[in-house]
Structure 1
């Protein structure tokens, strides 16, 4: 009981005068700390002035000073609660739970070592080291082993010191290999975040990156180096557009994990499933991908950003499968998620673009008001400026909108924009699908919006479009609704427009008669 007794004395003597955590009991509801947290939870967009008035009844210099102190105190308490979050939900990243256990143990040990409680510190350090090695968290194994060496030197235990020092050397060598692998992967990942031109340059560099990572993994044989190598392989296939190979890779890796050949405390099956479903989308297998997504989606927690990323692909699969009703339900699910506003602006704009497409295809079932839809169509979102995949989708939707409105002047204006865009950004052979679809759009104007002539003369282009492969991510062309389906929609619009014109002509003749 000596260690427990010493621990009790440390905590008793060094405890804070004020509790560092929130009291969630009924009695706590009277305190301003708790009231502020409730107000923030109920109204995330509430302003500081509104909070000040709600808590203190008025706004003056004194209440504002009091609020700043309260705000600081509440923020610190909320930060303290991060130590005690429930990490047991399997829908979160599995490795986080075990990594935080290592961090928690190391933090406790650091405090105990500083207080001179060496016996309990050694016990917890060894536990920390075991957990780090079991989860292949080499960086924490190095920290634990290094502190154990320091502790054994303080305790004058040369045998234990030498043994741990040898282990520390091995962990440091392994960590150096993992750090080098991480640097190589980070270089490639950074290129993906830039322009399409940078992504295409990465295509030439990625084989060398992969060779370096394979060499490092041969030396290290750790999960960390395996994971970097696996990610770079997926990146290469994604950039080149070999989505069938991604399906093969993700399926084989998932099978390895199920057989226990990969560390189950580190392998993220959610990412693996995400890439598998995404590859089905890009390889023109939307029906199969949609079925897989229905199974995979339950593994994502709604508070996670990955939930939204997966749902984007899920919705796109529904759109590509022609399941517009299901796509609409998925979009509404995203907007109803209380964490929706946590996404970056570009991500929220993508959801707006998806919703606009669904509204255009099925306006009768869309919650989007016509006025809002019209405003969106005439305003190009910010993310379209970087030429990373949604410009074609935006230009296409604008063209379809003005085609349905029979606004010839606006159509001719968009026509010139389409020509310029094709000359500047669709010159590569890998962008052939977008090139062909743009020619179909130009055909409608050239044939004076005649549905019969358009349908007849489009056949050669349509045949080539059906045979054309999906481009890789290096070319960032993303079809929200497949071009083939959009062309059929265009023909329907043209027929409806002709019928409306005939009806107007008939009505005019009847009025004259």
Structure 2
């Protein structure tokens, strides 16, 4: 009882007079809870709207009162971060184990400062076991260092010598992991740069992977394994070797099942995402769709990862020509409360996917204002935009399809000319062959005066070459929202329905 009595004494005599947290379960409404409720229900509320809701009138005094309330609530919300629930397995798995280590270290730091060495030692030993089980080397070092200091202060020679051995071993392991993380960070920074920077890092990646593998052979830790695994995936992705990406992700999943990878650390969601992405890019959409249905349960709808996963889920359905399924998935995604909070570029990608889906599906009798808005947005997009890198061809092609359906000859010719210029300026590398082949097919429809039968016959060789050309690596890719082969069939179908005509001719 002495131990808990000492703890009770510390908390009683050193505790704050009022708890610096929000009582969210208190039935009695107060300004703090009202403020949180308003922001939760309407996160885009303006200061004026909040002042009116809380105080009735937007006076200067009420604005100042809100500012004080805002500061107080912010501090209390930050304190509530200590009490979040991290048990849901659909979140990043290592988070709850890492936070458990941090929680122990935080409490021990306070107890140690209060000179409660006995409880400090017990909690540090527990923290050390947790850190070793999770292979959190930095926390192994922290725990061992604090235990060493504690044994020194208490003049405990035997436990001191034991923990020093643990500390030295962990410090060496951490040095290897730090070296590996620096190598990987340098690589990641280059991969997030321009296409030229990514091509440059592609040349040195094999050497860096060898360095990472050498460090892993020394450390044999989860951290070094994970860095090798991710570097290999990045390398194969840059090369367009998607079948190897499937093999690497399958091998990682197998190692996890066999207990050869730390289950407290390995992010199975990332492995799932890369796997279905590789099936998408390797033109195996049906296999990818089956896995996506199975994997989707491992992603929490409140996370950004869920949206990235759903994006590729939709693309798999589009590539499998399951357009109604793609529309269902997109509708499901748009209903997620976090949908409007995505980056503007992400929202525009979703609008582009929606435009393609609505184009290929049978036309609806009623066109909503939102559909008209999206259609107008697509038609007004510029010929080339850096923030839409990878989607410029898709945008121009969708505009072309729209005017082919409208049979507007002038606009069709304008889009074909823009595509030709875009090809000359941006699609000259060997890795852009699929896009260039498709754009050459589109030029055939002009050569054959928009005659579907003649264009199909003239384009046979190009179409076969397109089918035999694999997708390029991620560093160089234009995203095919719908595969070029399927788009060519759609172009021919539109031409069979009627060739585009000049405005003067259409009025005759």
Structure 1 residues 386, 38: closer, same or farther in 2, change over 3 A?
A: closer
In structure 2, the gaps of 5 or more residues are none
Q: Partners in 2 of 1:227 and 1:194 — Cα distance?
A: 22
Maintained 8 Å contact 2:409/2:501:
no
Match of 2:5 in 1: 5
CA contact (8 A) 1:282 1:470 kept: yes
With over 3 angstroms needed to count, the CA separation of the structure-2 counterparts of 1:418 and 1:500, relative to structure 1, is closer
**Structure 2 counterpart of 1:474:** 475
Structure 1 gap segments, 5+ residues each = 509-513
Matches within 5 A, 1:63-142: 63-142=62-141
Moved more, 405-414 or 194-203: 405-414
Q: Quote the residue 1:398 is aligned against.
A: 399
* CA distance 1:222–1:370, shift in 2 (3 Å): closer
Please list, as runs of the form range in 1=range in 2, the aligned pairs for 1:306-345 lying within 5 A after superposition.
306-345=305-344
* Contact 2:391/2:479 (8 A) holds in 1: yes
Q: Deviations over 1:317-369 (max 9, x none)?
A: 00000011111111111111111233222222211111111122126358674
Aligned to 2:273: 274
- Residue aligning to 1:511: none
Q: Distance in 1 between matches of 2:64 and 2:205?
A: 55
- CA displacement 1:260-291 (0-9 Å, x = unmatched): 11111111111111111111111110011101
Secondary structure at the counterpart of residue 364 of structure 1: coil
| Aligned counterpart, 2:17 | 17
Counterpart-to-counterpart distance in 1, 2:446 and 2:371: 25
d(CA) in 2 for partners of 1:265, 1:27: 38
Question: What is aligned with 1:455?
Answer: 456
Once the 2 structures are TM-superposed, how far is the Cα of residue 161 of structure 1 from its aligned partner?
Answer: 2.2
Q: How does 1:377-416 map to 2 (within 5 A)?
A: 377-380=378-381, 384-386=385-387, 388-416=389-417
- Tell whether the 8 Å contact from 1:196 to 1:387 is kept in structure 2 after alignment: no
d(CA) in 2 for partners of 1:466 and 1:102? 53
Query: Once the two structures are superposed, what CA deviation does each residue of 1:160-202 show, in whole Å capped at 9, x if it has no partner?
Result: 2232122111111100110111111111111221222221112
**Cα offset, 1:379, TM superposition:** 3.1
- Corresponding residue for 1:445? 446
Indicate if the aligned counterparts of 1:135 and 1:265 stay in contact, CA closer than 8 A: yes
Deviation at 1:432, TM superposition (A): 1.0
1:489: Cα distance to partner? 0.8
Query: In structure 2, the residue corresponding to 1:27 is in which secondary structure?
Result: coil
Q: 2:164 is matched with which residue? A: 165
Residues 34-53 of structure 1: pairs in structure 2 closer than 5 A: 34-53=33-52
Aligned-residue Cα RMSD (Å) equals 2.0
Count, aligned residues: 504
How far does residue 387 in structure 1 lie from its aligned partner after superposition? 6.7
Counterparts of residues 177-216 of structure 1 (less than 5 Å): 177-216=176-215
Contact 2:124–2:147, Cα closer than 8 Å, also in 1: yes
**How far 1:212 moved relative to its partner?**
0.6
Question: What residue number does 2:297 align with?
Answer: 298
Q: Name the SS of the counterpart of 1:267 in structure 2.
A: coil
2:319–2:481 CA contact under 8 A, matched in 1 = yes
In structure 2, relative to structure 1, the CA distance for the partners of 1:20 and 1:382 (3 Å cut) is farther
Query: Contact 1:196/1:388 (CA < 8 Å) preserved in 2?
Result: no
SS at match of 2:266: coil
What is the match of residue 372 of structure 2?
A: 371
Cα deviation for residue 499 of structure 1 reads 10
Quote the offset at 1:420 in angstroms.
2.0
Is 2:497 the counterpart of 1:491? no
Q: Is the 8 A contact 1:195 1:386 kept in 2?
A: no
For residues 66-120 of structure 1, what are the alpha-carbon distances to aligned partners after superposition, in whole Å with 9 as ceiling and x for unaligned?
1011111111222112111111111111111101100111111111112221111
CA distance in structure 2 between the aligned counterparts of 1:445 and 1:430, rounded to whole angstroms: 26
Shift of 1:457: 0.9
Q: Is the 8 A contact 2:101 2:130 kept in 1?
A: yes
- In 1, Cα distance between equivalents of 2:417 and 2:499: 24
